[in-house]
Amino acid sequence: MLTVGIFPNLHKKKVMKVTKGLVSWFMAKGYSVKLSKEVAQVLNVPQLSTDSDELISKIDLAVTLGGDGTLLGVARQIAPYNIPILGINMGHVGFLTEIELSDLYTDLERFNRKEYHIDVRMMLEAKVVRDKQVLKELLALNDVVITKGPFARLIRLKTYANEAYVDTYPADGLIISTPTGSTAYSLSAGGPIIKPDMDLLLLTPICPHTLQSRSIILYKDDVIKVKVLADHNEVMLTVDGQQGYKLLPEDTIIVNKSSFTTQLIRIKKRSFYDVLRKKLSE
């Protein structure tokens, strides 16, 4: 019997109604269902409640209800457990989620018949180093971003790849992304769109204050090192636009491909280009 963990974004409208339907559907099909205490309380199903720190270790499949942001948050949590994710879209763009609400139970029946495949996506790990000490380690599916604060002056980011000097970017920031993240912040900053099944790293400056600064594609096993050159304390490191860490001048950020991956369940037989064409025209 497979155990399913359902992770709804409680801020989405009608999400609990859909979650309740999902719980009933999975249980009727013979799956075991586990929920966080908060979700179980809202649905009034205390028998399905599990402590948050134990929930992920007890499931075989994660089902997310929300948009790409919901899936990104769950992906970082479950990456060490090698658990596949089935994303149900209740957001807008939805590059990562697989099922639209209009197709919910039709696609779930196909999943139940094992008519799906697993799409494996690379992830990044980032370390913050200060005075030769690693202060913070973070995991990302989309991107690792170094940015100046909202009122801060220009920052310079001295960047290396495998100890080879790349450039010192005078810019509002720098994005280091996976192919998956190429359609996120990097795209907004003028970076290229990359097919997500490729293994590589993408370096994109944010509003560079020099005309020769362009996105650079690097080898998947390159280690990127960025030293913060600034005279103020308003620089931030963020991962997937969701987790943040305040940086200080002279901090060094080291980013490389993670040994963990994100596994996305794919039911529909559609190419990346079909998804890209549809989502970018919405």
Look-up: residue for tokens 């280091």? 176
The residues that are catalytic are 68
**82: closest CA among 44, 25, 120, 52?**
120
Look-up: residue for tokens 């970018």? 280
DSSP state of 181: G
Contact 241, 185 (CB under 8 A): yes
CA 25 to CA 36: how far, in whole Å? 18
3 state SS of 8? strand
Sheet holding 143-148, edge to edge: 216-219, 200-206, 173-177, 143-148, 235-239, 243-247
